[in-house]
Structure 1
Amino acid sequence: MVYITLLILVLMFLAKIFFVIVPMRESFVVERLGKFRTVFEPGLHLIIPFIDRIAYRHEIREQVFDIPAQHCITKDNIQVEIDGLVYLKVMDPKLASYGIGDYRLAAINLAQTTMRSEVGKLSLGEIFSERETLNETIVREIDEASESWGIKMFRYEVANIAPSEHVVKTLEKQMVAERDRRAEITLATAEKEAKINISEGERQESINHSVGERQRRINIAEGRAQEISLLADAQSQGIAMVAEAINKPGGDKAIKMRLVDQFVGELGRIMDGSDISVLPSEMARVKGIFEGVDQVSKTFKN
């Protein structure tokens, strides 16, 4: 039993010396007598003790590194403090081991210098409005520079953009002034539209009054024309009836009697309304009047 236990311990010790297990998320760079030999991918691998050694262990998953905040000067000479995040992955463990001393530190420093350079090409407003463009430019620059390092830059994200306190106060005053300006423009536009609406209403009211007055006058004119037409028709019918009555037997005598009656009535009305007695000088011509009536009757008969 003791021998079996010792045998197991010996086998375990030998296995630990001659075999190495690489985790799924890592890659091992193996050197033989100080010289690069191979890269162990995830799994079980055999090594020669005291000759082979694991020189580097690399994380092969995508990694994220925090870019410390730094002061940058924009195109319009405004000092801002910017930090960010960089996402990269080891693509070639050999180059990541021998192509650069520390690819993590190198990527962070390269991201900072590239960010300072790109920020200097943009104004403060463009940094806020074109953040995506800034991120893409930094990724492209770092990816080109880090190609010999065996790493791949996937993306860069600007986390915070903090202008200086003086700039913040200036921007706040500018925003207040801009809001006041927009408010004044809005009020002026509203007042203008109100005046336009009032003038349009007054104009429409004047048009309505003129149209109504015109229609009223047309209606009055049409009513008068219709009245005149009716009176004319009535007079025409009356004359026709008188003419028809004259043509009947005894019609001329009736006309004479009617005219004499009207004359006497009018004469009486005049005399009643006078303070003195008035006798027309033409009474001697009464006979002439009746003769004129006789002529009118004859004319209707003809």
Structure 2
Amino acid sequence: MPDLKQAVLIAGPTASGKSALALALAERLGGTIVNADSMQVYAGLRVLTARPTAEEESRAPHVLYGHVDAAEIYSTGRWLRETAGAIADVTAAGRLPIVVGGTGLYFKVLTEGLAAVPEIPAEVRSSVRERLARDGVSALYADLTVRDPVIAARLMPLDRSRIARALEVVLATGRSLSDWHGEGTQPALAPERTVRVFVTLGRAELVSRIEARFAAMLQAGARDEVRALAARNLDPLLPAMKAHGVPWLIRHLKGEISLDEASAGSIMDTRRYAKRQHTWFRGQMKDWPLVPADQALARVLTDIGR
């Protein structure tokens, strides 16, 4: 195990081969893979969220995968606490933590710290979500512009999730989210003690992979996963209910659209998400090296001294 580096951090757009890279490194370096994907934490969606298979999990230890019920809202703060604990445990066991996923915010808080926003009471969150469903995002945005004009000015008027989150914070704490951002925690990992890569692919190859992967997901039982999830009649605003493919396949299972239409919609959503992931990292994590997928293994081994 390397003496100078605390962890390997692997990010990149969906379908770029991050998980395969992490597994290859874990087998070669004696590593444990730690999940940094906000959808792969949810149980019941192994196929549709492209979680590692049982066979892959047998080849190296994996933690923080599939351990959260779909009825829960899994916060960035909870992920950070669990990941910090997991990294400590992995290191104490003499293994190398390899943190991998596509959720950029997770890597940001891991290496830069987290704003000290307290937990939002369940009743406040429920009230805001009910208002969002009943009155629409425009009504919430109008309320936010009065209660927290600084944050409202930074958000797109139709950004449902961020508007709801900002309103929850100001209602629960009486303070602007911008105030809380100035009172953060210390980073769990010092950036200089990590090896970091953002895996990249050419646009055409990435699109081809996304299309092929969704077809494989359907063959592997994605519809059955969504059918079981839909049978629970959960709030459609829950994160797990918005995982790529879930809304479209629910519409298909209801007979509203064909499977081809559901597939096309799911693939387009995933393509747009991959583009947003790349744009976010270029803007927010400028010191991360962008490494082509076919060079990433060699780059990490070189940077870590192997």
Report the TM-score, using the length of structure 2 for normalisation. Answer: 0.17
Higher helix share: 1
Larger CA Rg, structure 1 vs 2: 1
More RCO (CA 8 Å, sep 6+): 2
